[in-house]
Amino acid sequence: MGTYFNGLSANQNRDGAIYPGFISTKSKLYFYDLFKDVDVEGCLEIRGKRIFLFGKNNKHISITFYKDDVPFVLAKSNRIRMEDRRLYSSKTDIKILWKSDSISHPQLKLIYSDELQSLSFERLNKSLGSSPIRSSYHHLDCYFERMVLYKDSASINFYNTKGPDRAPALLESFDFFNEQRYQDIATMAKRHPAFILQSLSRAHQGEKNFHISEVAKHYGYSELDASNLMTDFTILGFVGFDLSTNSILIKDKLFEFLQARLKKRDYDGLKIISRAEILPAAKLDFTSGDLFVSGIAMVELSDSNKVAAFPYDGYLVIHENRNFTFDGILNTGNFTLFGKQLEFVYDPFEVNLIKIDSMQYSIPSGFKNEDDVDVDWTVKTVISDLVGKLYIDAARNKSGLKPELAYPKIHSFEDSYIYYDKVKDGVYKRPVFSFKVDPFQLDSLSILSTESLEFPGNLNAPTIAPAFRDTMRLNENLELSFSHPIPNRYPVYEGRGEFTNNLYLDNKGLRGEGTIYYLNSVTTTDSIFFYPYRALAHAKSHSITEQIAPTDCPKSTVEDASIDWRAFDDQFQSWNRDSFYETYKQSYVFDGTMILSPKALTAAGELYFDNALSISKEFILQSQDFTADHSEFNLFEQDGVSKILRAKDTYSAMSFSDRFGSFETLSDTVSFELRKNKYDLYFELMEWDSESKTIEFSQFSSDKARLVSVDTYQDSLQFYASAAHYDLNNYELDVSGVTEILMSTVTIEPDSSSLKILANGKMERLVNANFWVDTQTLTPYEFYNAELDILSAGKFKGSALFDYIDLEGEIQSIYFSTLEKDGDIVKGTAYISEDDNFHLDPYFGFKGKVILDSSKDFLTFDGFTRVYLACDKLNRTWIPFTDEVDPENVFIDLNPDMRLTDRQQWHAGIMISHSPTVCYPAFLSGPKHVNDYDALSVDGFVHFDDSNWEYIIGSKEKIEDVNASGNVAIYNPEECTLYTEGNLNLGVDAGMLKVEALGFLAANFTEQSIEGKLDFGLDFLLHRKASKFLYKQLKKSSLTVKTNQSSALHQRMLKELLGRRKLKKYNRKKKKGRRFLPSELEHTFYFPQLYMSWNRQSASFISSTKIPLNNINGRKIDRIVDGIVEFRPHAQGDEINIYLEISSEDYYYINYRRGVMKLISSHQKFNNYIASSPMRLSNLSGTKETGPFRYEIGNLKQMQKFLNRVKWVE
């Protein structure tokens, strides 16, 4: 039943909507299991999506939370909001029921989440919200900011405010009182308001319930002021204030507080402050009732008796009625206790000392600090494992109001101990060494004179000495100690030795002074420290008597020594300090440490004897000899300073009676160091005969020993040998069994497998040795009959023979007069004269210098070469040559820069000479005259092709593939012929007439003939109409035979000129008779595949009478024309004659020489073009090098003279 209402709202937020609405008319509704285990009693109100429960007439509604069907949390509030399975209440009186106790607060903010099953309470820090959370079980008021519990959890968590300005959490005893609190309350009014409230109760015969109006009237306040005051009193726990009824209940705490002020009642000052950095700050376990609190620095238990607790890690556990346990420090006046499970019991006001790790106390120093405060000195000895009690004060005097002088007091119920396990890195372990303190009582700690304390007990050191009683007293070093005299010899270490005089115990341990007796030794000490299993001492004297049995050992004495007696290991160790041991009958000197035991006298150190020094950590010293494992041996010259030999890590055996010693190396890395010779010898055995002054080195196994030079200049030179003999008279080392000396990339074989190392460390010169170079080169560099000076691991100098083997297997010896290895490369030089008749292979001779560089595949020949096979007419010459030579595939690099002077040149190809003019072949030949020049020149490499029995000159690509580009010359020594091809150098003296010629020329030395086919192109100035006239005459003629350009050589040359694609197009167009002509082939006259031969009578190249004419001034002809072409070289200017005869009535003659081109034809029109051409069109000025050019009309007489000379037949 209730009222429903609806309407419109401008608020578009549904969360704040007030419609539709409903308010129940019943004053109270019961909602059982509103959520599981949650009952609510109150009126219902609905506004939009929100549900409210409230109490009518300012009545409270109640919420009950159950646990195991038993009410667990009781909450009262004026209004509750329910939304999204949550309950919200801003001002809630709560009580958490637990056993017969409770945790309560009058006004908290409540939030319950059914989804999380969590219940959260927050203090509001205003009005009643500032009240503490009151725990009746612990008798504590707790000032935490928030509590959170989960329904399925057996604990509740307490949280404090986060942030840098957070206030610490305070836990305060129900019986807490201090004057400051009283005075703070007194400032609330002129009369103390607490006493006024007490008088109100007394005025009404002890009544405790009052309405706020009655309180206001009694105080003379308004009801508002009275309400504010009662709110403050509620926070202090003096009253309970019901705001809904405006009534108060005066609590007993008010009366107890005032009685404490009047000193009529005992109280305490117990408060616990938590500054927890971790969350939660505290946790209450509902099962045990324990409250676990963190963040606690200190808890003051008694201000008057100065008793305080300092928990480790700020952590303690509070039990019922303010009892608590902790691990930490307990301080009372001059005494400090460190322990675990310290148990503070509130009612008897004492601390149970269940497990005290240590007790420490201090004494007055008699000094004051800069603040005029007395300074105490801390006693450095602590008493541990104490079990007992600290009585803080009388049980009814927690406030310290009464002067109880017997308190505080510490009673020890059981034996406690003084331990020394922090001395010398813990050498005094607790089970085997301590001082056991009898139970004791220390009363009146505040006034006790600590400097006179004594602690009687027993020394517990069973491994050192039998137990005896003594008393620990404070010494001048602020340590507990005793001094114990020993009148006679005292058995120590279970009878393994004896000691006499005095024992002392303090924080340094157990020490003494006196004499030690052990086996056949006597040691007098001025200081000895006894440890559980050993003793360390400073000996004024230590002597061992010589004996044969039971232990064979020499006499040994030393003054001023250190002693380490490891009694249970049966080892008495001594080592000298400022003076040496004197040992053996010969009074040899020993510096180091000796260990005497029932089995042997061992030693570690340095033994000096007979100009020798032996160093070892494993000496066994006997009456007339010694052995030393892992030893170092040093041998000196007579002066005892200059070292001859040194050996490390050897097993040494020395007999002083035989004057003989043997020394065995103990690993492959150990060497015998010959210091004078600067060599390390890795032999397995060294035998020293000091009588004969010789040393023999040898091997136990068949493996050879390594010998290494340590001279910095010899760079770790090394080799292997089977034995060596060292003469101590001249310091020379004779080494045998040296089959090879391995250097980087070089192996040397000494003659007879022997060598000698001189006293200065240098190796005596090797004679008749062999060596080879280990490289990846194609030539195996092997040498014999060598004389070598080995200077270092990577360097030698000397001389040797080397066998040069050509492709037919013929061996020629080369004597390298200088050889040097430096690093990984061997270099050398040999000289070959012409008389040596040396040849690189059967086809090339050589004279000059031979250079060895072992990093290169072949020897380098730097000198002169010439062809070995020659025709009589071949004017062969020595050619300058520098290159590596592969004997099985000789290529001579014809570097043109290597040619000699102008009078000592070499040539290959076709040469032209003047005075008289001749054309002649040359193949690595000298010129006939100095000014001869190459008509067709070839350079690159020369190679003999033994399959065709030919010399070839050209690039390597051309030699390997004749179809490759470039000039080539091929000389056949059997047929005495020379074939050349490539670009020709014609028209050298032709001025401004340009001659382009390429093709081949073949020469026969015997017949003195030269002929071949050339692509012959001429470019010069010609009257445009005249050339056009000639072109038309040729085109309308009856000439039908086309030029043949199909030869392989011609096609290859055209390909080089035009490129593959353009040549292909040209051939295709030519075949179809098209006019396509590449620009590269355009000339004034272009004669492809023109046959020409050298005519010795006319001293000129003359063509055949069938002339292939391709084009005139770029106009394609492509016909075979009758006629003749002549190229006539001349020193004063090359001459060119061209005669073309289309028919007997149609002919043309062209003559060029020295810049003048003369033309004449059977056609007057052609002649008129030439004759009438103005000078500006027929003349070119040219340059100084080329001279001028002009063309003019010729004459028939000159033409006829030319035709007669060349024997033209019509």
Structure tokens at 976: 């005495």
177-267 CATH choice from 3.30.565.10, 2.40.50.140, 1.10.10.10, 1.10.3720.10: 1.10.10.10
Neighbour count for residue 617 (Cβ, 10 Å): 15
Q: Where are the domains of the chain?
A: 1-131, 177-267, 612-832, 1004-1205
The burial of 289, by beta-carbon neighbours within 10 Å (0-12 exposed, 13-18 middle, 19 or more buried), is given as middle
CATH topology of 1-131 equal to that of 177-267? Answer: no
In the three-class reduction of DSSP (H, G, I as helix; E, B as strand; rest coil), residue 615 is classed as strand
742-796 residue pLDDT tens: 988 999 999 999 999 999 999 999 999 999 999 999 999 999 999 999 999 889 9
Q: State the pTM of this model.
A: 0.55
pLDDT single digits (tens) 237-276: 899 888 878 899 999 898 988 998 888 999 999 999 999 8
pLDDT at 647: 94
Q: How far is CA 107 from the centre of its chain?
A: 65
- Token readout for 683 is 């032999």
Q: What percent of the chain has pLDDT over 90?
A: 63
Please return the burial class of 723, using the count of CB atoms within 10 Å of its CB with bins 0-12, 13-18 and 19+: middle
Top pLDDT among 859 and 107 is at 859
Q: How many CB atoms lie within 10 A of CB 183?
A: 10
From the list 1023, 1065, 1048, the residue with the least C-alpha distance to 1157 is 1023
Residue 1110 scores a pLDDT above 90: yes
Class of domain 1-131: mainly beta
- CB burial class (10 A; 0-12, 13-18, 19+) of residue 873? middle
Length of the chain: 1210
- Would you state the pLDDT for residue 45? 80
Tally of helices (H runs) and strands (E runs) in the chain: 12, 88
What pLDDT is attached to residue 1109? 95
> Which pLDDT belongs to residue 1?
62
C-alpha dist (Å) from residue 980 to 353, 944, 954, 1001: 122, 16, 10, 5
Nearest CA-CA partner of 1085 in 1034, 1051, 1130: 1034
pLDDT band at residue 1131 under the 50/70/90 scheme: confident
With a CB cutoff of 8 Å and minimum separation 6, the contacts of 1064 are: none
How does strand 1156-1161 pair with strand 1146-1153? antiparallel
Q: What is the pLDDT of residues 630-639, one digit of tens each?
A: 999 999 998 7
Give the integer Cα–Cα distance in Å for 548 and 175. 87
Q: What is the pLDDT of residues 365-400, one digit of tens each?
A: 888 888 888 888 999 999 999 999 999 999 999 998
Angle CA 755–759–765, to nearest 5: 35
Q: What type of residue sits at position 147? A: M
Amino acid at 1149: Y
Give 1004's pLDDT tier (boundaries 50, 70, 90). very high
d(CA 812, CA 23): 131
SS3 602: strand
Q: How far apart are CA 227 and CA 238, in angstroms?
A: 14
pLDDT band per the 50, 70, 90 thresholds, residue 675: very high
Among 16-20, 219-223, 515-519, 1001-1005, the range scoring the smallest mean pLDDT is 16-20
* pLDDT surpassing 80 at residue 1051: yes
Is 633 within 8 Å of 612 (Cβ atoms)?
Answer: yes
Q: Is 1026 helix (H, G, I), strand (E, B) or coil?
A: helix
* CB neighbour list of residue 190: distance below 8 Å, 6 or more residues apart: none
- The pLDDT tens digits for 476-524 are 999 999 999 988 888 999 999 999 999 999 999 999 999 999 999 999 9
CA distance 526 to 534: 17
Residues 411/391, Cβ–Cβ less than 8 Å: yes
Tokens 């009580």 map to which residue? 95
What are 443's two structure tokens? 């009363």
**What are the tens digits of pLDDT across the range 583-599?**
998 779 999 999 999 99
Which whole-number Å values give the CA distances from 283 to 140, 160, 543, in the listed order?
Answer: 14, 12, 72
Average model confidence (pLDDT) for the chain? 90
Question: Is residue 226 helix, strand or coil?
Answer: helix
